[in-house]
Structure 1
Amino acid sequence: MAKVTSYGAAQTVTGSCHLVKINSVEILIDCGMFQGDTGGMSNYEPFAFDPAKIQYLILTHAHLDHIGRVAKLVKEGFDGEIIATQPTYDIAKIMLLDSAGILEEEYRTLKRKARRRGEEESVSEPLYTQEHVHQVFEKKWHTLEYFEHHKLRQHIRVSLGNAGHIMGSAFVILDYHEESEPKRIVFSGDIGSPHRLIIDSADTVDKADALFIESTYGDRDHKPLLESVHEFKKAVTETLERGGNVLIPSFALERTQEILWLLHEMFKAHTLPECRVFLDSPLAIKATELYNKYPLQLSDEVEWEAAIGSDPFSFKWLEMTSTRDESMEINRVRERAIIIAGSGMCTGGRIMHHLKNRLWNPKNAVIFVGYQVEGTLGRRIIDGAKFVRIYNEEIITKAQVYTINGFSAHADQSDLIDWIRPIKGLKTLCLVHGEEEKMELFAKAINEALKIDAHIMKRGIPVTL
């Protein structure tokens, strides 16, 4: 008998964490961080299961909302095997070390402030430290190529397919037997749109008894990619030509590399107005180096560029600013600059001081190229907030704000339905990784298109298969 319980990404888009029990074998699919106003404190809550009893942890990809609590899991007793693709292993290492560094810095800051108030004991320890992250990579890891089979206990077999979301991303296939009958459970992870700039489209699944599928954009279809590319280039060009600066809050993984590829193409085509371009994110710089390490994971166009000896993510005007001093020097650039900085949802990182210094100027532009979770500063800006609070200062929003969702690394409603369509033998379909109202619309669309009833997973409530 198999049972699945979602302890995250259930009626929300963050904190992915799904516990699969097949007889006595306990398998965890992802262990992500909760994000947004209310999500942060959820990360500090005890796990609703015993980490020491988990025998396998399978990671779909290396975004923090899928791996951000792995170090906490290890800290609290997990000692099993971790399974992922090789790129996910490499990316997870830089992502988790960066996350731990941020957590430790926040802890030191809160500690200093509490000491001045005489309340030092009130400050909780960081969720995990860089030492805990190092312990994660001392565990037994098994890296898989796409569709390579790996046998677990009790005749359970796992394989990973390309999810087309970010480099190394995967959906998970669990094959097992129940009373001599073959059974298959599939977890989609995050499925990418088939129309992507720098990586190949997702693979498909031919059959499954149960499918747990993401629904981030289950309520809508994206703008066509070419339309979004045109909108992005137009926003960049118009802002630079009026002497403004372009701020791009960008996720270090995939989105930053997509933006660099577009700017690389514009530079080669002589359509990028003369400017200075800053990649102001140590994490994004490291991630870009990894993208260059795995050219076969990339689209044919980008792979070809790498094959002829050209760096697809660089060009003459690009400056990498790794240190804090280099980042602060960007403030001296008054006009005609493109600044790509994290975090992608404006919840921290270097984008914050760039917004503080430039959001008030109507000559400037902020281009959002990624999903903004409710409760984040990015979401408040795109929702039209007249003033936003940054570093305890009220900043007026006068810069031009662009929201370009065609770059989304997530498949839209039509893409997801098309991904489900060829799966034969589907008896159970469960929706995860989406806001509740979007899941309801997605469930209705699935029923209309495929005549399948979809179940919306609720946190902590198991589904028996």
Structure 2
Amino acid sequence: MKITFLGAAKTVTGSCFFVETASTKFLVDCGMFQGYSKNNALNEEEFPFNVEELDYIFLTHAHIDHSGRIPRIYIKGFRGQIIATKATVELCAIMLPDSGHIQEYENEWTNRKRLRAGKPPVEPLYTYQDAVNCLELFRKVSYDEVIKINDEIRVRFRDAGHILGSAIIEMWINERGEEIKIVFSGDLGNKDIPILRDPSIIESADYLVIESTYGNRLHNERVDKAEYFLNLINSTIEKGGNVIIPSFAAGRTQELIYELNKKKEVYDEKLKMLFATPVYIDSPMAISATEVFRNNLDCYDEEAREYIENGDNPLDFPGLQFTRTAEESKALNERKESSIIIAASGMCEAGRIRHHLKHNLWRKDSTIIFVGYQAEGTLGRRLLDGAKKVRLFGEEISVEARIEMIEGFSGHADKEGLLKWIERFNRKPKKIFIVHGEEDAMIEFSEEINRRFNIETVIPSRGESFILNAHNVIAIDEKVRPDNSFRILQVVEKLENIKEEVEELSYILKSDLKQDKTDLELDELMAKLKNIEKSILEALK
């Protein structure tokens, strides 16, 4: 068996693993790269295999960084089966067409710029209709059922506890009379996530491919996340500001609603102000995703099912309102009274959230609360990292609002959660491939696995291939390496980082105009900038 890591390799997004057996070719996930503009270029690269020869895509869950290039591979000729849990299929039916709409919208904006520059138009990554058409390939499966794909492959989807329908995939591959078991963790859920069950325990594996989003961090469990959340909301409302929550339409939004509703008796006094303030779910996709939640009660944990059996709707509470149209969304930013607005996308890369940020980032009385992971290069990550100014819709916006992150709402297990999950294997993997993380997180997580379990780990690079067999022999295929275009994109990323840092320095200096600077300090800074300018000019040659 040969596995090639085409995404989520030394990065968090673009999850995609290409597996070739004696007679079958398939992908585990086909996700979109997000964040830096170089990642957008990666989405447009050709797939490094004959798409028409691909037999299956096994999908761990519906988030776009795992499913977002399925319409792209469809228009390139893929007509095999896409196998996923029932809830994942239903969420993809909402999220992929929405992604297609975003691709068309952003392409239209890009082409207007290209037209003004005298350049020819370009096609979108895919369209709304492409995304609708690819849905015909999806096949629903149930949790915990062993499915015979063919004479070579059996699979089982287990609950990953990350979002509704998310799965760990166990896979048994029989080649030449030998069976190998490989497990793909997908995104593993944080323990005690509202509504969802904890991740399933896996008993054994020969090889494990595991995410590492929080591989070097621990969630702050000492803080009652619901109480902290309420305190942030109340302090903002008291100042007359708005609370803006960038939230993934499928997952965090519903869990936030549930958590607030569940706490209404515990925090009765604090909730009075919340329930007296309108809470808007400003995302048609989140509204539709909430309906999918209501239709998949079998995925709920015991506590959530008990609420429903007692006649309580855990996805509703007083003051909660849904906005569907663009006109209703725009009207929210014309309100004089305080509001709580929950809108997608969770990383602030697209959607209505960007409009709400434009109208609130400059307000000192408003608060932006992040409740999910923010990938490198995204607007959400820049805000969390302390950006003083950002550009939205061609306008430079000062960041004066309070920026907060509540990690307890994250759908990802932290370092200890991941390690405890590995610990529960009765028969530990021979080797563990670490994916879906930033490089520093992967390295620390790798070292901890080595120290705690004495298991060898591999941190694959994008485009790197390995041969796996039943005897713990992994031969690196030297022929497969990232192509030169990827190296060029890495240079582009570095230039974009430099650009952001120069803009930040310019902002700091303008802010310090009234402060005294010594001639020596200014001379030293000027000398450094001249060296940077000289290096850039030499690179242009």
Q: Distance in 2 between matches of 1:66 and 1:327?
A: 28
Q: Distance in 2 between matches of 1:149 and 1:142?
A: 15
TM-score (norm 2): 0.83
Q: Secondary structure at the match of 1:345?
A: coil
Residue matched to 2:363: 361
Q: Distance in 2 between matches of 1:109 and 1:180?
A: 55
2:453 aligned to 443, 450, 459, which one?
450
How far apart are residue 14 of structure 1 and its match? 0.4
Question: Percent of pairs identical after alignment?
Answer: 43
8 Å CA contact 1:195–1:225 kept in 2: the answer is no
Residue matched to 1:27: 26
Q: Secondary structure at the match of 1:150?
A: strand
How far apart are residue 392 of structure 1 and its match? 1.5
Q: Distance in 1 between matches of 2:240 and 2:270?
A: 16
8 Å CA contact 1:225–1:406 kept in 2: the answer is no
Aligned residues: 461
How far apart are residue 176 of structure 1 and its match? 2.4
Q: Distance in 1 between matches of 2:65 and 2:283?
A: 19
Q: Secondary structure at the match of 2:126?
A: coil
How far apart are residue 105 of structure 1 and its match? 1.5
1:284 aligned to 271, 283, 286, which one?
286
Q: 1:225 to 1:433 in 2, by over 3 A?
A: farther
Extract unaligned runs of 5+ from structure 2.
469-541
How far apart are residue 241 of structure 1 and its match? 2.3
Residue matched to 2:106: 106
1:393 aligned to 392, 395, 404, which one?
395
Residue matched to 2:379: 377
The yes-or-no answer on 1:149 pairing with 2:146 is yes
Instruction: Name the stretch that deviates more: 90-99 or 22-31.
Output: 22-31
How far apart are residue 142 of structure 1 and its match? 2.8
Residue matched to 1:303: 305
How far apart are residue 295 of structure 1 and its match? 1.6
The yes-or-no answer on 1:432 pairing with 2:471 is no
8 Å CA contact 2:21–2:175 kept in 1: the answer is no
8 Å CA contact 1:225–1:407 kept in 2: the answer is no
How far apart are residue 305 of structure 1 and its match? 2.2
Extract unaligned runs of 5+ from structure 1.
none
Q: Distance in 2 between matches of 1:107 and 1:180?
A: 50
The yes-or-no answer on 1:10 pairing with 2:9 is yes
One-letter amino acid of the structure 2 residue matched with residue 344 of structure 1: G
Q: Distance in 1 between matches of 2:218 and 2:291?
A: 32
* Mapping for residues 52-201 of structure 1, pairs under 5 Å: 52-119=52-119, 121=120, 123-139=121-137, 141-201=138-198
How far apart are residue 35 of structure 1 and its match? 0.1
One-letter amino acid of the structure 1 residue matched with residue 145 of structure 2: E
2:350 aligned to 326, 348, 351, which one?
348
How far apart are residue 422 of structure 1 and its match? 2.6
Q: Distance in 2 between matches of 1:376 and 1:435?
A: 13
One-letter amino acid of the structure 2 residue matched with residue 186 of structure 1: V
How far apart are residue 300 of structure 1 and its match? 2.1
How far apart are residue 335 of structure 1 and its match? 3.1
Q: Secondary structure at the match of 2:44?
A: coil
How far apart are residue 462 of structure 1 and its match? 0.7
Q: Distance in 1 between matches of 2:17 and 2:162?
A: 19
Larger radius of gyration: 2
How far apart are residue 112 of structure 1 and its match? 3.6
How far apart are residue 263 of structure 1 and its match? 2.8
Superposed CA offset, 1:336-370 (max 9, x none): 21011111111121111111111111111110111
The yes-or-no answer on 1:256 pairing with 2:270 is no
Q: Distance in 2 between matches of 1:147 and 1:62?
A: 18
8 Å CA contact 2:96–2:132 kept in 1: the answer is no
Residue matched to 2:316: 314
How far apart are residue 4 of structure 1 and its match? 0.8
Q: Distance in 2 between matches of 1:103 and 1:429?
A: 35
Q: Distance in 1 between matches of 2:4 and 2:431?
A: 14
* Mapping for residues 214-293 of structure 1, pairs under 5 Å: 214-224=211-221, 227-267=224-264, 269=268, 271-272=270-271, 273=273, 274-293=276-295
